[in-house]
Structure 1
Amino acid sequence: MRAVIVDDEKHFQDSLSSLIQDHCPSIKLVGFADSVDSGVQLIQNENPDLVFLDVELGNQKSFDILKKIGSPKFQVIFVTAHDHYAINAFRFSAIDYLQKPVVLGQLQEAVSKVERILDSQQIENQLQVLSQNLNQISDQDRKIVLKGQDSLHIVKLSEILWCSAEGSYTSFHLVNGQSVIISKHLKEYENLLSSERFFRVHRSYLVNLNHITRYDRSEGLLIFDHQHTLPVSLKRERMDELLEKI
């Protein structure tokens, strides 16, 4: 797999290059760039399979490179020193990223993932979601990429009513009545969505609190604005926290 590094810090180019050459035998580095313009030229000249791309290039953004190139035919692993909000945007978009300073295990895992993805349309869709999420003001307007075994689903957080555990799978229940089943544990989505007004109310359910209208104490049920109900099973402290958030 032919790859290039686009980063405006020379010492980081050198350190990442050393890690790749020493520990990622499937990667052949064919060039380096340190700005938007030089990055565009490098990618057009080398036609790489993979681009390691810094989120910020001086006063410019790496998305300027993607806009100038158009529909990308290469994989992207972003490199970032950004805060939690930006990192969540990457996770929501199911796009791999490396956080500076780069850890070898994370690099190897990211490279392994991109080697398994060949669909350029899927890459383009994920990059579009990432760009929107990084510029999105309202959390509920943010989107999440749900990667099924044979398909890619792009869903607004506001369209999710609740998520349910189905063994080692997670089922997303949407406002339009559809369900999307993903081969990841519910715990992974609890960790990702807990800061976005999603709350684990039961070992089997993670709910979007923005769709909850009330809690029926006598029945122990949450009532949704779409007339659905789900049982609640929480210890007292967590129950108090839930009621405070509703």
Structure 2
Amino acid sequence: MKKLKILIVDDEKRIRDTIKKVIEYHYPEAEIIGEANNVQTAIVSVNELKPEVVLLDIKMPGESGFDLLRHYKPLPFKVIFVTAFNNFAIQAFKYSAIDYLLKPIIPNELVDALNRARQQINNEDYNSKLSTLLSNFENKHEVKSTIVINSRDKIHVIKNEDIIRCEADGNYTRFYLVDNNPILASKQLKEYDDILSESGFFRVHNSHLVNLKYLVRVDKKEGGYIIMKDGSEIPVSTRKYKDLLNVISKL
């Protein structure tokens, strides 16, 4: 198997050394072709060394990791962010479906991220995911209006307002949209609950996340369920019922 060419960009030598050791011991399928401690050095390295994957810190003195990404259109490599950023940043990564690792580095998480990056090498939709991420950070005080959804063979950029509801389907999540074309996404419902909860969505049941914009009515019969605009009847769990009524009262 051809070795994956990797560039490490982080202003902390300690972090760069840790990443190198993890890759050397746990991912022999990769070759570290260079490292950089700032954006300008990274640009030179990218142009000369042609990495396939860049492990990129966000917060560095002077220019940030995002400035490196903005330098290229389209991006000639796949990126895995290595960050100690806050919860907002994690939310933005999840919205865009771009890989990230939290410091301190956990070896098996780095290996998993590299495997995913290898699979994305020839993915032509990758730059749309990246543009969603950059938009999310540039508008970090606003509620995010789009989400990136990975299905088996496509990457979908969907407006939140076009999602009626989400339903758990084993380890997957089925999205029901206003255009009546469901999408089976490759993540569990909990992940999308974390992402969409600030955008008018409510987890009414372990298996159901709904967009309250499309709620038609709450029916108290048979333990409680709701009717959505697409005609679906969604059960409401007992422990969620009062919370749902409280949220609805504030709409």
Taking structure 1 as the reference length, the TM-score comes to 0.89
Q: Distance in 2 between matches of 1:213 and 1:57?
A: 49
Shift of 1:60: 1.9
Structure 1 residue corresponding to 2:70, chosen from 67, 72, 83: 67
Stretch moving more, 79-88 or 169-178: 169-178
Shift of 1:165: 2.8
Q: Distance in 2 between matches of 1:210 and 1:82?
A: 32
Q: Distance in 2 between matches of 1:205 and 1:63?
A: 35
CA offset digits 1:53-76 (Å, max 9, x no partner): 111221322121122122112111
Shift of 1:176: 3.1
Match status 1:138 vs 2:134: no
Q: Distance in 1 between matches of 2:6 and 2:89?
A: 24
Stretch moving more, 105-114 or 176-185: 176-185
Q: In percent, how many aligned pairs have the same letter? A: 35
CA offset digits 1:112-156 (Å, max 9, x no partner): 111222234222111111111222333242x22111111110112
Q: Distance in 2 between matches of 1:227 and 1:191?
A: 24
CA offset digits 1:206-236 (Å, max 9, x no partner): 1022433542435844344x4645333311x
Q: Distance in 1 between matches of 2:108 and 2:37?
A: 25
1:7-46 pair list within 5 angstroms: 7-46=10-49
User: In 2, are the aligned partners of 1:40 and 1:69 still within 8 Å (CA)?
Assistant: no
User: In 2, are the aligned partners of 1:73 and 1:120 still within 8 Å (CA)?
Assistant: no
Pairs aligned (count): 243
Q: Distance in 2 between matches of 1:183 and 1:91?
A: 13
User: In 2, are the aligned partners of 1:140 and 1:158 still within 8 Å (CA)?
Assistant: no
CA offset digits 1:62-109 (Å, max 9, x no partner): 121122122112111111111111111112211111111111121111
Gaps of 5+ in 2: none
| 1:83/1:229 CA distance change after superposition, 3 Å | same
Stretch moving more, 127-136 or 187-196: 187-196
Taking structure 2 as the reference length, the TM-score comes to 0.87
Q: Distance in 1 between matches of 2:90 and 2:187?
A: 19
Q: Distance in 1 between matches of 2:135 and 2:59?
A: 16
State the secondary structure of the residue aligned to 1:29. strand
1:46-125 pair list within 5 angstroms: 46-125=49-128
| 1:13/1:168 CA distance change after superposition, 3 Å | closer
Gaps of 5+ in 1: none
Structure 2 residue corresponding to 1:230, chosen from 219, 226, 233: 233
| 1:204/1:120 CA distance change after superposition, 3 Å | closer
Question: Aligned letter for 2:113?
Answer: A
Question: Aligned letter for 1:100?
Answer: K
Question: Aligned letter for 2:6?
Answer: A
Question: Aligned letter for 1:78?
Answer: F
CA offset digits 1:16-57 (Å, max 9, x no partner): 112112221111111111111111111001001110011122
The corresponding residue for 2:203 is 200
The corresponding residue for 1:242 is 244
Q: Distance in 1 between matches of 2:69 and 2:217?
A: 45
Q: Distance in 2 between matches of 1:140 and 1:210?
A: 16
Q: Distance in 2 between matches of 1:129 and 1:243?
A: 33
